[in-house]
Structure 1
């Protein structure tokens, strides 16, 4: 009997079990059949039309043949369990960069990430041309403080090349005990030489929502990652601002936000939009067809909004920006976003293992797909620092013997009362923040202009 037939009969029951497991997860419609019934004569298998849903016989025989060759001829012995896990990993990672087999440690890490606390360097990563792409560094983490940027490509970890390395393996190498160090070599656009960073690992605690009141009664909200309570934290902050007095505008900063929990993104949009579609998904299964709509409760009312995005804004961040853009509820400022418009579902296999599988695509209310396209800002602003140019002008008030202003108080002392709405960056702590961040400065200027030209919104 040919070796392939022997192997098919010996190993095929594993495939039967897999078919049942796959069916239970709702991934595909496959009927488990007895091994003998599923194996027609090889001489006729190539000419017989395979019914829809039936497993491809020849490919299964190829797999069993390769499996046995590795077991018997590979230079080092590899146990069957490891080989099968390699096969599962390869099957998922070949689909797209976001599907993965989550073994116990990776499954635990995923649960920690959504709760806002995990260990490592603070980098959201993906794969690009065999290298590790930095999607975004997370605020107040070793990576962000060291100067690692979105778009950087990690070439090596502690001197070991990452080319061809599995993404999960690379992530595991970057994790470690707090205080331990790791050296990264990075290739950066427009830099001729590789950059070297030595980072000390730390326990990463991500504060999802940070707020600050800028001059001119403009509220600044920085969302670093969408977590379970992000929506409620944002709504509470906005309601507190409005209860304390005038709120002339809100800057929603989603730059370098890698995404997170979808429900949290929907709640954020709901804080600004009182009706209509927020986002919908399309996939192959009925469970992948989902839509989310706004409710009547809107924390921000009609307060003007500017949303800041950049190349590190991905996934849930793009859902928020796209929805507010389609509803014409906010002006989007910055640079084009990352373009991750796919939905990943975590499908538990056992208590400590799961499959992260891409099951659908996101679409904005107007039917735009975010995938590999991203959100284009309404006003394109590149990042830089604000560097005021000092220039001295002599004014009428500097001339000796100038006439006094009859409507200005304290004419005799020369003191001038500033208009009620003016802002002085030097006296305002938020002025330093605006100086360092040109995109934020432009967003703030835009909202101040809207405040001047528009009637004050009602409480």
Structure 2
């Protein structure tokens, strides 16, 4: 169980199926005394408005067609106060607060889908790898228009999330609209989502691949381990690395800082600005370089958000990496989790974060250095080289003593990750080009 202090910074898109909780060093240093609260600026109470609130409360209690208890009315009033702020501020009841804590550990129940609000509809921001949503083919940008036959129009984010959550093994049907097309149904089976935040493998000899699906508490250390493993696999050195942040919904701020620091040796990584005390934070890189200066391409798309955008922005501004893909999501605000009484909490937007060059990506996103849109790769039926000089009877041998290479001896390559991923194949080609020019 994650130990909670009174203050925490969370970088997530609101009450979604994949919420994240993080701690900044500056706030973690505050004493964790019971009942302690954030010191906020004091302002005169609007007495007339409070009288109106009390009158409405009494009228509902007395005249509504069905009895409503005080607790329900007051909690609804709190939710109403937050509902007209930005989409990421929310009131967390005990269940939602518990889910927020569980998701940070990388294990939680649901479909494995990150969602947001758009024009009153629920839009998929990104599916999480190897979850029911990803396996069912749900894509970033899909609109969820119905959940088990009930329209989502008019539902709050929390209500939609609650409907999609459930016991592992139970089924749910989502009605989706993709790219303005016709609605279609997808049936999914809920599962306990165990998210592996970091994956790595070799694409080719000398060229590594590192994917971060979301930023959890231990993601920073896992990236360090993955880098060491990739180097060892390739004899101690890499020629290039692809860092894949596509469809990464974000997560823990501190982990985003740690990941960036693995690739940077100096300079600012990210800073935040807000109104309350300790909301103006600055994070800088130390001199250690776990990546050993390996040439780097970062892949992003419209599902890359929040903490993923912090990493992409830091590496782009510091000229440490070439950012490739499509514009990111554009979530540049910081949420502070403020514990309340009775295991409840407020998740309140309290600051904006900025890249090292002072860019706020809020509602704009990170623009890649090289735009490469997603495309489907197909094999040309005439691509096979059926006949070569070395196949000719009586052909001359190689003057330098090299072995013949007839078509009949062409090696059958195993399927590679980049073969069906155009953006990844372009990133790899760029790294190869950089390696060739460096060698000259």
Shorter-chain TM-score category?
0.7 to 0.9
Q: SS of the residue aligned with 2:424?
A: helix
Superposed CA deviations along residues 113-146 of structure 1, whole A, max 9, x for unmatched, are 1100000101111211111121111110111111
Q: Is residue 113 from structure 1 mapped to residue 103 from structure 2 by the alignment?
A: yes
Q: SS of the residue aligned with 1:288?
A: coil
Q: Is residue 160 from structure 1 mapped to residue 150 from structure 2 by the alignment?
A: yes
Superposed CA deviations along residues 390-413 of structure 1, whole A, max 9, x for unmatched, are 4366655455554432114335x8
1:312-351 superposed matches below 5 A: 312-350=303-341
Q: Is residue 209 from structure 1 mapped to residue 193 from structure 2 by the alignment?
A: no
Q: Is residue 410 from structure 1 mapped to residue 403 from structure 2 by the alignment?
A: yes
What is the aligned partner in structure 1 of residue 17 from structure 2? none
Q: Is residue 235 from structure 1 mapped to residue 224 from structure 2 by the alignment?
A: yes
238, 242, 251: which one aligns with 2:242: 251
Q: Is residue 435 from structure 1 mapped to residue 419 from structure 2 by the alignment?
A: yes
What is the aligned partner in structure 1 of residue 18 from structure 2? none
Q: SS of the residue aligned with 1:286?
A: coil
268, 277, 281: which one aligns with 1:277: 268
What is the aligned partner in structure 2 of residue 19 from structure 1? none
What is the aligned partner in structure 2 of residue 447 from structure 1? 431
Larger radius of gyration: 1
90, 95, 103: which one aligns with 2:93: 103
Provide the C-alpha distance between the structure 1 equivalents of 2:367 and 2:134, rounded to a whole number of angstroms.
Answer: 25
- Label 1:439 to 1:110 Cα distance change in 2 as closer, same or farther (>3 A): same
Provide the C-alpha distance between the structure 2 equivalents of 1:449 and 1:388, rounded to a whole number of angstroms.
Answer: 23
CA contact 1:281–1:288 (8 Å) conserved in 2: yes
After TM superposition, the score normalised by the length of structure 1 is 0.83
What is the aligned partner in structure 1 of residue 41 from structure 2? 29
Superposed CA deviations along residues 83-123 of structure 1, whole A, max 9, x for unmatched, are 11001111112111101111111001000111000001011
Name the structure, 1 or 2, with higher relative contact order (CA <8 Å, separation 6+).
2
Structure 1: give runs of 5+ residues left out of the alignment: 1-22, 31-52, 419-423
What is the aligned partner in structure 1 of residue 213 from structure 2? 224
RMSD: 2.1
CA contact 2:199–2:226 (8 Å) conserved in 1: no
What is the aligned partner in structure 1 of residue 130 from structure 2? 140
What is the aligned partner in structure 1 of residue 185 from structure 2? 196
CA positional deviation for 1:255: 0.6
Q: Is residue 357 from structure 1 mapped to residue 348 from structure 2 by the alignment?
A: yes
Higher alpha-carbon deviation: 291-300 or 401-410? 401-410
Provide the C-alpha distance between the structure 2 equivalents of 1:82 and 1:448, rounded to a whole number of angstroms.
Answer: 61
Provide the C-alpha distance between the structure 1 equivalents of 2:433 and 2:381, rounded to a whole number of angstroms.
Answer: 23
CA positional deviation for 1:29: 2.2
Provide the C-alpha distance between the structure 2 equivalents of 1:145 and 1:27, rounded to a whole number of angstroms.
Answer: 46
What is the aligned partner in structure 2 of residue 184 from structure 1? 174
Q: SS of the residue aligned with 1:245?
A: coil
CA positional deviation for 1:415: 8.9
- Structure having the higher helix fraction is 1
Q: SS of the residue aligned with 2:349?
A: strand
CA contact 1:410–1:416 (8 Å) conserved in 2: no
Superposed CA deviations along residues 209-266 of structure 1, whole A, max 9, x for unmatched, are 0111111321111101101111111111212332433311111111111000100000
The structure 1 segments of at least 4 consecutive aligned residues displaced by more than 6 Å after TM superposition are 415-418
Report the count of equivalent residues.
Answer: 402
Q: SS of the residue aligned with 2:50?
A: helix
CA contact 2:388–2:407 (8 Å) conserved in 1: no
CA contact 1:216–1:448 (8 Å) conserved in 2: no
Provide the C-alpha distance between the structure 2 equivalents of 1:27 and 1:311, rounded to a whole number of angstroms.
Answer: 37
Structure 2: give runs of 5+ residues left out of the alignment: 1-34
1:347-426 superposed matches below 5 A: 347-350=338-341, 352-391=343-382, 396-397=389-390, 401-411=394-404, 426=412
Higher alpha-carbon deviation: 363-372 or 376-385? 376-385
CA contact 1:409–1:416 (8 Å) conserved in 2: no
CA contact 2:301–2:327 (8 Å) conserved in 1: yes
CA positional deviation for 1:301: 1.6
CA contact 2:250–2:306 (8 Å) conserved in 1: yes
CA positional deviation for 1:160: 1.3
Q: SS of the residue aligned with 2:229?
A: helix
Q: SS of the residue aligned with 1:271?
A: helix
Provide the C-alpha distance between the structure 2 equivalents of 1:427 and 1:163, rounded to a whole number of angstroms.
Answer: 49
